[in-house]
Amino acid sequence: MVETIQWIDNAVVMIDQTKLPLEETYVTCRTYEEVARAIRDMIIRGAPAIGVAAAMGVALGVLHAGERDLDRQVETICATLAATRPTAVNLFWAIGRMKRLYASLHGAAPAEIRRRMVEEALRVREEDIAICRAIGRNGAALVPDHKTVLTHCNAGALATAGYGTALGVIRAAIESGKTVDVFADETRPFLQGARLTVWELQQDHIPTTLITDNMAGHFLKSGRIGCVVVGADRIAANGDVANKVGTYSVAVLAKENNVPFFVAAPISTLDLTLASGDAIPIEQRAAVEVTHVQGRQMAPTGTAVQNPAFDVTPARYVSGIITERGVARAPYEESLRKLVG
């Protein structure tokens, strides 16, 4: 299993996802500012992985902070990391968890604070891997045997600390003895499906076919696709799901063709403070990601561009939300709150 993010010798080491699949290189972050930059530049991406990176970034910042005005420094560290990307709620969940631990250590010796903060960040990582495996186990039964699974973007080991959410479900289905292959949408404009999902599944020798985003409807209509499984960056209380842009289109096409559409995500991705997906902030990214492909200009100079990184799939298109605590079904206002407890 690929090591997405690790804590080595008091530094955060992460695989550079902007270089995959042609180069498998790693970036070492020795300051929280470098971690923030890695999140913002999508060296690391995927909601759970961003959460782990944020927790490690806070720990790294505290580790190197001076002893004077530590409270103020921690606020700056957390604010810097929180400003990197707005949609994935795991980022804010992890920062909040680290802030609460820091507050509970008021009056402790600086060395004790540093030790506990690093321990907590490492715990976040280990918990994420365990959570992904539980999501996989809970979702494996939903995957039809001898069918193809369609996925969009990358919700695998690369999007988490390990194993993955949507790809974790696929891995667990195969581990349970099912014969499954995968169709991966390329996922324009950042090509996470083409660059990351295909590469990752090839490492596990899972049969995978790459398709362009606009081929999804064709194959959903063909009868070959047994189900769709995607990840999520934020899920509202009513079950509306924010995920990589293009997910909504796949969900509509899946419903039209009577193909189950499942979302796999940890409890930390739920944002029950939001009544619906209308309140989820949608990150807008640079125009160059659309006008250029791998650095090569594809559109006329001066082209007007819209580049939302995410869209929101209404709950009515979601067949089930697979979490580490079980599978939520409609009505989601009730089932999600029951899972959260």
Which residues are catalytically annotated?
Answer: 233
Query: Are the C-beta atoms of residues 216 and 185 closer than 8 Å to each other?
Result: yes
d(CA 194, CA 10): 33
Question: Among residues 191, 141, 130, 198, which one has the least CA distance to residue 164?
Answer: 130
Q: Which residue in the block uniquely carries the two structure tokens 């790459």?
A: 210
DSSP secondary-structure letter at 194? I
Q: What residues contact residue 44 under an 8 Å CB cut-off, 6+ apart?
A: 4, 5, 14, 15, 17, 38, 50, 53
Q: Where on the phi/psi map is residue 205: left (φ > 0), alpha (ψ -120 to 50), or beta?
A: left
The pair of three-digit structure tokens given for residue 205, joined into one six-digit string: 């020798």
Cβ neighbourhood burial of 70 (10 Å; 0-12, 13-18, 19+): middle
DSSP secondary-structure letter at 268? G
The pair of three-digit structure tokens given for residue 159, joined into one six-digit string: 């999007």
SS3 249: helix
> How far is the first Cα of the chain from the last one, in angstroms, to the nearest whole number?
32
Q: 26 - beta bridge partners?
A: 15
Q: Which residue in the block uniquely carries the two structure tokens 């540093």?
A: 114
Question: Among residues 95, 152, 130, 132, which one has the least CA distance to residue 265?
Answer: 132
